[in-house]
Amino acid sequence: MAFVATKDSSFKVYLKEGFKIKPNAVFICGFHGLGEVGFLSTAHLVKTLDAERVGFIKSDMLPLFVSMENERLVLPFEIYYYEKKNMAFFVPRFQPHQSEQWGFLEKLAEWIVQQQFSEVLLLGGLDASFKEGEEEMRCVPTTAYKENLEKWNVPLLEEGLFVAGPLALLLSELEIHGAAGSGLLTYATRGRPDPRAAATMLEKINEVFGVTANVDQLIEESKEIERLEKMRKSIESDTDPSQMYL
């Protein structure tokens, strides 16, 4: 994947003219981590809630890609807003480039603090091989977020397990700044996108915030991925090539 340094060697948030995020909004984002859960969850929330695109982020290293969605040009790093519930979303269609992740997430954390969000939710996946019991999720709160944990009714991440990648860096920055944030992690399958885990995430967000993000499409995508995965395993385990037919 190709990247390019911008002329302005700085991280900058561009909000549309005249727009300001209301005080005490909720900020939600998710990256392309395990099972793609964070990105799938955030992007699907934006889509099903019909959130408004209100801005962009430009960084030192930008992916050399744009695309079309719903007959509109979409950029790598976009900000959306759902006025009805005062919720803001950061949708990173690509991971921030590894060489600038520390600076990118440090600046993003500073911007989050400046906006005075009431809480910050970082969505991600947790390796399903670590699952014990019936719980579908775990959380990793900052010190300032602990008073908000009761409404989630989600157990803490077990000691000895680690959060990695951009989510971990941003969570660290929020802790340093004394911001109220939490990583929300659903158990997911390693090595492939897991829409079912994203659906579990959205169902919990629907419950807590009283929104109606439809998860039917994610469930259908998950069924198709699982069907193809079973087919692949069946073919790989079949030692007789003559039996490999549909």
Give backbone dihedrals phi and psi of 11, rounded to 5 degrees, phi first: -85, 130
Average pLDDT value for residue range 182-195: 92
Average pLDDT value for residue range 112-116: 95
* The pLDDT of residue 42 is above 50: yes
* The pLDDT of residue 187 is above 70: yes
Characterize 113-150 residue by residue with b for buried, 16 or more Cβ atoms within 10 angstroms of its Cβ, and e for exposed. bebebebbbbbbbbebeeeeeeebbbbbbbebbeebee
Give, in order, the Cα–Cα distances in Å from 34 to each of 7, 37, 123, 218, 223: 33, 7, 11, 16, 18
Bigger pLDDT: 51 or 246? 51
Give backbone dihedrals phi and psi of 102, rounded to 5 degrees, phi first: -60, -50
The terminus-to-terminus CA distance of the chain in angstroms comes to: 36
Distance of alpha carbon 31 from alpha carbon 47, whole angstroms: 16
* The pLDDT of residue 61 is above 90: no
* The pLDDT of residue 188 is above 70: yes
Q: Which domain holds residue 217?
A: 3-243
Into how many domains does the chain fold?
Answer: 1
Ordered strands of the 137-141 beta sheet? 12-15, 52-58, 77-82, 87-92, 26-30, 119-127, 181-188, 137-141
Confidence of residue 234 (pLDDT cuts 50, 70, 90): low
The CATH number of the domain holding residue 216 is 3.40.50.10900
Distance of alpha carbon 242 from alpha carbon 141, whole angstroms: 54
